[in-house]
A and B are shown apart, each in its own frame.
Chain A
Amino acid sequence: MTSPYLTALFLSRTLWGGVPMTLVFAISVVTGLVMLVIFRYTSNQQAVKLAKERLQAQLLAVRLFQDQLPVVLRSYGRILRGTLRYLRVAGGPFLLAIVPMTLLIVQLDHWFGMEPFRPDQTFLVKAQFAPNAPLDEATLQLPDGLVADAPAVRIASDSQVVWRVAPAKYGAYQVNLALNGQTFSKTVVVGSNMPRLSWLRTQSFWEGLLSSAEPRFPKGGPIESIAVIYPARDIAFLGWQWNWIILFFVLSMIAGFAFKGILGVEI
């Protein structure tokens, strides 16, 4: 029979995914609290309270007068109007929170959304060139610890060159792409912990803002972007594997609802 200690260990590892889960939990709870406070001071709490009470009154009317169809139908109409009124008074502050939340998620995704490569795991380095750039002249310069284990694939129709690289040992590396005397670098991390990862380095402002943690390439250069696709990180929680963003949303909402009474916030 399986040792109860092993069973407990198995259960604990699948129920609570170690350090990443702890960090996601802590960040979610803090975010939930902060969002609650922001909502408290950016919303008209009296108006929110009034909108909720009116909704509750109409819900009560539906229950009390369920045998009187005209009353029920009128109440449903008022519930619809009340819901729109609630969204009007609460929606603004919620929308206000979306911008910092999006930027927060983008930043956190560099830690929680991806895993570094393992030493036994080959990966692709994909360079997007400007149209008509001389693909044949591009060379990938790899540091000690990384080796190209297949010839480059030149795809003229897409202005792309793809290299397959095999890591030999742990480390944070710079791979350099040389072209026409210029060098373009990109970070690659081979490891087992939870470093900040950037899968893309690009010229584009928006792509850089939403997907990269590295300085942008100069505009108009021959290299538009260099990408490496890290494996997605799943976090164990309650026996299932989750994308961290789902956990973050659910846990921050639970935290918000749990603390709204203590902080006296009407949501």
Chain B
Amino acid sequence: MGLKTWIAAAGILLAGVVVYRAFSHRSPAHWEGPQRLIVLGIDGMDPDLLQKFVQDGRMPNFARLMQQGTFQKLTTAIPPQSPVAWSNLITGMNPGGHGIFDFIHRDPKTMQPFLSIARVEPPKHTIHLGSWSIPLGSGTAEQLRQGEAFWQILDQHGIPATVFRMPSNFPPVKTRSVTFAGMGTPDLRGSYGTFTYYTDDLMTATGAVEGGEIVAVQPENGRVTAHLPGPENSFRKGSPPATADFTVDVDPTQPVARFTLQDQEFVLREGEWSDWIKVKFTLVPGLVSVEGISRFYFKQAHPRFELYVSPVNLDPRNPALPLSTPAGYSKELAEEIGGPFYTQGIAEDTKALSAGVFNDAEYLQQSREVLNEHRRIFDKEFPKFKNGLFFFYFSSLDLNAHMLWRAMDEHHPNHTAESAAYAGAIEQFYTQMDQVLGEVWPKVDEHTTLLVLSDHGFAPFYRSFNLNTWLLQNGYLKLKDGADPEQGEYFTNVDWAHTRAYGLGLNGLYLNLRGREKDGIVAPGAEAEALLKELTEKLLTVRDSGHTVITRVDSAEQAYSGVHTALAPDLIVGYNRGYRAGWKTVLGAFTRDVLEDNLNPWSGDHCMDYTLVPGVVLSNRPMAAAAPALTDIAPTILAEFGIAKPQSMIGHSIFPAAAIRSQNQHVRSQSQN
């Protein structure tokens, strides 16, 4: 080939790449109407706390929004759990329509539990060669929420949308909108977040704890050699976890150490956090590896060695599982904010606090850094918003109210003098939300609708009600002969042939129904109806030193509509303020007592009677709805852009119909032009 041919070939190649990169970057929608909608989704913002902080003058921007716009309580989901509630918001349907009833579901045919939001599965077929397994095909990440998301419908109408960290959206549904997955996004181990804690303290129990793993290490000449557990290696027989080795060289006298992980070295002082560290897990040497990111917290150098390593997050620069639409958006975002960030759905490490690995101060520091990261992303993304929809989700109020309610509530059984030092922490997070609202205000004009909303409110969690123990003591559930109720996990000792009902999840009560459950004994129809009635009546009479424990029990048939209702728990137990399902009963275990004090740092909650924990909705526009609900939000968003809601959506726009009509006309005239 001559020079001209080479130049022509290079020119064609270059043009091809330019066109490919231009169109693969982001798919701009074609809508150019004036209407804009900004939605701040603040998980767990409680109407009573909000009003209190506003009255105290701590939230001037919310005060202005309440004064100039409207503020109402927002009816939450049944049950008021975040994945359920956000799915109501996303789809405009109740759980019968979108199929998310709890954090945990079970397969009645096998009675095995599974996480309700998403399923990450290895390849179905493999060939075994010695200790190796060769997968035939690839694994899958499947979102289990059903129904169309509102931004998918906006996309069909050419309306641009940015939806950041929406819960119950992993892997993100297919759309041309810019989206980033939120709650439900796993870590690299496929869990909702598993930390690793290394210690040479022989008094510390090692092994798996809820949400983490405690590993014993032994320093030799000041050097600790350890393995960071990663994802299951499906290339190895039995799928053992892949590991990444690292060493820590602790200075003999100073509280400082050098960390070496693969080709990276960093120095941390005691009490310091590392930046995000890239971790590569080799599955097949030289051929297959997977990368994630972790942060190291050097808790103590001397006299004990104590090191916390965060769950291995998916690296937004090179995610092992889909994180965003378009796929390259996560990398672009990481580059814009100057590095990677937490991608796991629940980034605040509440489990490390519950396990005693973090103290309150350490948990708060980590939690504040999560919010700082979210605000950095918000500060980059929000100024880019021009038209269409902008949705941004904040998790901080929810998780910190869960963990620090005891600090501000003297009646909580886990309120101590030490925890009282953090009594103002929740208020500080509320004021940070007020600062975010302050950043949004300048962009709110006559063409902009602003919605600030939460999925539920909050209440104290003083006492645990162990539903399975109650069922056992009342003869609805039977254990195998001689079994110790307090031994075994997840129904291991249950005699299903004589069990009529069982509890699973935070609010779910299921009948052991013949033809549905693997070993069901309750006949569908009259027998089942009578049992449900009996259980409902008895649960409502439960008292704790005179206090009502359960204030309502909803039957799935009455509470839900839609094609997935058959998968729902038969009864949804609604606890009174101060009460919630016990930690053990949630996963099918038993306790000695039906009612216990909650001494876990997880001290505030909302998984109770949905009428007691409404969320909030605030807008710069007047609302027409007298009792707006989460299921109204998707129809409201569609109506704002002149789009009729699909029949599957059960809610209605919360704004006056006249305004929608005028906007419809405006949008129609735009499209005709």
Chain A interfacial positions (CB closer than 8 Å to B): 1-2, 7, 10-11, 14-15, 124, 126, 150-158, 162-164, 229, 238-239, 254, 257-259, 261-262
Other than A1-B32, A1-B387, A2-B386, give 7 A-B pairs with Cβ distance below 8 A: A126-B265, A151-B254, A153-B250, A153-B256, A153-B257, A158-B249, A254-B10
14 A–B contacts, CB within 8 A, in A order = A10-B25, A14-B21, A124-B258, A124-B267, A150-B269, A151-B251, A152-B254, A154-B252, A155-B222, A155-B249, A157-B221, A164-B267, A238-B14, A254-B10
The 9 closest A-B pairs by CB, nearest first: A239-B21, A258-B6, A151-B254, A164-B267, A153-B258, A155-B249, A238-B17, A151-B256, A153-B251
Residue of A nearest to B30 (CB): A1
Residue of B nearest to A151 (CB): B254
Q: Specify which of B17, B160, B222, B257 is in contact with A157 (CB 8 Å cutoff).
A: B222
Flag if B6 contacts A257 (CB, 8 Å): yes
Distance in angstroms from A232 CB to nearest chain B CB is: 10
The answer, yes or no, to whether B240 is at the interface (CB within 8 Å) is no
Q: A151-B254, A153-B257, A262-B3 are in contact. Are A229 and B249 (CB under 8 A)?
A: no
Residue of B nearest to A121 (CB): B275
Count A/B pairs, Cβ under 8 Å.
82
User: In the bound complex, how far is the Cα of B3 from the Cα of A254, in angstroms?
Assistant: 10
Chain B 68-111 residues near chain A, CB threshold 8 A:
none
Interface flags, B235-264, vs A, CB<8A=1, else 0: 000000000000001111011111000000
Flag if B3 contacts A7 (CB, 8 Å): no
Residue of A nearest to B250 (CB): A153
Q: Specify which of B18, B222, B256 is in contact with A11 (CB 8 Å cutoff).
A: B18
Chain B 30-75 residues near chain A, CB threshold 8 A:
32
The answer, yes or no, to whether B368 is at the interface (CB within 8 Å) is no
Q: A1-B386, A11-B22, A162-B265 are in contact. Are A150 and B256 (CB under 8 A)?
A: yes
**B7 cross-chain contacts in A, Cβ below 8 A:** 258
**A229 cross-chain contacts in B, Cβ below 8 A:** 265
Distance in angstroms from A198 CB to nearest chain B CB is: 18
Chain B 507-534 residues near chain A, CB threshold 8 A:
none
Flag if B251 contacts A154 (CB, 8 Å): yes
Residue of A nearest to B259 (CB): A153
Chain B interfacial positions (CB closer than 8 Å to A): 1-3, 6-7, 10, 14, 17-18, 20-22, 25, 28, 32, 160, 221-223, 249-252, 254-258, 265-269, 386-387
User: In the bound complex, how far is the Cα of B250 from the Cα of A236, in angstroms?
Assistant: 39
Residue of A nearest to B21 (CB): A239
Q: A1-B32, A239-B17 are in contact. Are A124 and B251 (CB under 8 A)?
A: no
Flag if A1 contacts B21 (CB, 8 Å): no
Distance in angstroms from B543 CB to nearest chain A CB is: 58
Flag if A156 contacts B2 (CB, 8 Å): no
Flag if A156 contacts B6 (CB, 8 Å): no
**B25 cross-chain contacts in A, Cβ below 8 A:** 10
**B22 cross-chain contacts in A, Cβ below 8 A:** 7, 11
User: In the bound complex, how far is the Cα of B533 from the Cα of A55, in angstroms?
Assistant: 89
Flag if A162 contacts B3 (CB, 8 Å): no
User: In the bound complex, how far is the Cα of B1 from the Cα of A14, in angstroms?
Assistant: 30
Q: A7-B22, A11-B22, A259-B3 are in contact. Are A150 and B17 (CB under 8 A)?
A: no
Distance in angstroms from A163 CB to nearest chain B CB is: 8
User: In the bound complex, how far is the Cα of B25 from the Cα of A68, in angstroms?
Assistant: 52
Distance in angstroms from B278 CB to nearest chain A CB is: 12
Q: A2-B28, A124-B267, A238-B17 are in contact. Are A258 and B3 (CB under 8 A)?
A: yes
Flag if B258 contacts A155 (CB, 8 Å): yes
User: In the bound complex, how far is the Cα of B21 from the Cα of A11, in angstroms?
Assistant: 8
Flag if B267 contacts A153 (CB, 8 Å): yes
Flag if B267 contacts A150 (CB, 8 Å): yes
Flag if B18 contacts A15 (CB, 8 Å): yes
Distance in angstroms from B551 CB to nearest chain A CB is: 51
Distance in angstroms from B318 CB to nearest chain A CB is: 11
**A152 cross-chain contacts in B, Cβ below 8 A:** 251, 254, 256
Q: Specify which of A1, A10, A126, A162 is in contact with B28 (CB 8 Å cutoff).
A: A1
**B160 cross-chain contacts in A, Cβ below 8 A:** 1
Flag if A162 contacts B267 (CB, 8 Å): yes
**B252 cross-chain contacts in A, Cβ below 8 A:** 154, 156
**B266 cross-chain contacts in A, Cβ below 8 A:** 124, 164
User: In the bound complex, how far is the Cα of B359 from the Cα of A237, in angstroms?
Assistant: 47
User: In the bound complex, how far is the Cα of B255 from the Cα of A156, in angstroms?
Assistant: 16
Q: Specify which of B21, B221, B257, B387 is in contact with A15 (CB 8 Å cutoff).
A: B21
Q: Specify which of B1, B268, B387 is in contact with A261 (CB 8 Å cutoff).
A: B1
**A1 cross-chain contacts in B, Cβ below 8 A:** 28, 32, 160, 386-387
Q: Specify which of A151, A156, A164, A259 is in contact with B222 (CB 8 Å cutoff).
A: A156
User: In the bound complex, how far is the Cα of B221 from the Cα of A158, in angstroms?
Assistant: 11
Flag if A151 contacts B269 (CB, 8 Å): yes
Residue of A nearest to B388 (CB): A1
User: In the bound complex, how far is the Cα of B258 from the Cα of A126, in angstroms?
Assistant: 11
User: In the bound complex, how far is the Cα of B10 from the Cα of A124, in angstroms?
Assistant: 43
User: In the bound complex, how far is the Cα of B25 from the Cα of A158, in angstroms?
Assistant: 48
**B32 cross-chain contacts in A, Cβ below 8 A:** 1
**A153 cross-chain contacts in B, Cβ below 8 A:** 249-251, 254, 256-258, 267
User: In the bound complex, how far is the Cα of B268 from the Cα of A155, in angstroms?
Assistant: 14
Distance in angstroms from B188 CB to nearest chain A CB is: 23
Flag if A156 contacts B21 (CB, 8 Å): no
Residue of B nearest to A229 (CB): B265
Q: Specify which of A154, A157, A164, A238 is in contact with B21 (CB 8 Å cutoff).
A: A238
Q: A124-B267, A262-B3 are in contact. Are A157 and B223 (CB under 8 A)?
A: yes
